[in-house]
């Protein structure tokens, strides 16, 4: 059965461009409820740990550097079928392929600077939420 929770980050490019409000508006309009949320900045070591599954990929260094370059908004979101529905809402990794109405179509500028992260499975949503939030920070 699909889970009710996913994890997201508003990435440094979108925070820098003052798009936090616009992106949260799209998440709320799509029916996602905020369970946990914080503005924070990843160290390079923490960003490397978060994206460890990509450590063998050619873009890993660039990804870690970018994700630790400025503040991000981390959040746990709740909705029925959260992971799949949220991936639909954010759109394709490469904004050139993102459909109309998606967050990346509206706010992403490139494959690297693509505005938002969304978990790709229920298991990763749990791991990623636990990476940022304690039990006291969930509502
Ligand atoms: P995310 O995990 O951030 O939600 P995603 O699941 O759509 O994105 P992944 O394949 O998990 O995409 O890649 C993680 C991130 O690494 C992407 O969001 C993107 O910023 C970056 N990335 C992926 N492929 C490339 C690439 N070929 N060149 C540069 N950056 C890339
Ligand atoms: Mg991913």
Q: What is the pLDDT of residues 35-87, one digit of tens each?
A: 999 999 999 999 999 999 999 999 999 999 999 999 999 999 999 999 999 99
Domain count, the chain: 1
80-132 residue pLDDT tens: 999 999 999 999 999 999 999 999 999 999 999 999 999 999 999 999 999 99
| CATH classification of the domain holding 111 | 3.30.70.141
44-57 residue pLDDT tens: 999 999 999 999 99
Whether residue 106 is contained in a domain is answered as: yes
> Is any ligand 1 atom within 6 A of the Cβ of residue 114?
yes
Ligand 2 center to 89 CA (angstroms): 14
Q: Provide the token pair at 108.
A: 């992403």
Whether residue 19 is contained in a domain is answered as: yes
Q: Which residues are identified as catalytic?
A: 117
Whether residue 92 is contained in a domain is answered as: yes
Residue range of the domain that includes 74: 5-134
Ligand 2 center to 117 CA (angstroms): 7
Whether residue 62 is contained in a domain is answered as: yes
Please give the angle made by the CA atoms of 6, 68 and 7, to the nearest 5 degrees.
Answer: 5
> Is any ligand 1 atom within 6 A of the Cβ of residue 87?
no
| pLDDT of 2 higher than 90 | no
């Amino acid at each position: 059965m699909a889970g009710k929770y996913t994890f997201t980050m508003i990435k440094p490019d979108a925070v820098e461009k003052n798009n936090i409000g616009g992106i949260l508006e799209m998440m709320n309009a799509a029916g996602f409820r905020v369970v946990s949320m914080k503005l924070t900045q990843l160290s390079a070591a923490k960003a490397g740990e978060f994206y460890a599954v990509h450590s063998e990929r050619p873009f890993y260094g660039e990804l870690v550097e970018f994700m630790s370059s400025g503040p991000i908004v981390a959040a746990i979101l709740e909705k029925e079928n959260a992971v799949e529905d949220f991936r639909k809402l954010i759109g394709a990794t490469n904004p050139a392929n993102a459909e109309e109405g998606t967050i990346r179509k509206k706010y992403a500028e490139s494959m690297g600077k693509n505005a938002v992260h969304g978990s790709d499975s229920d298991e990763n949503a749990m791991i990623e939420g636990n990476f940022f939030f304690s039990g006291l920070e969930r509502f």
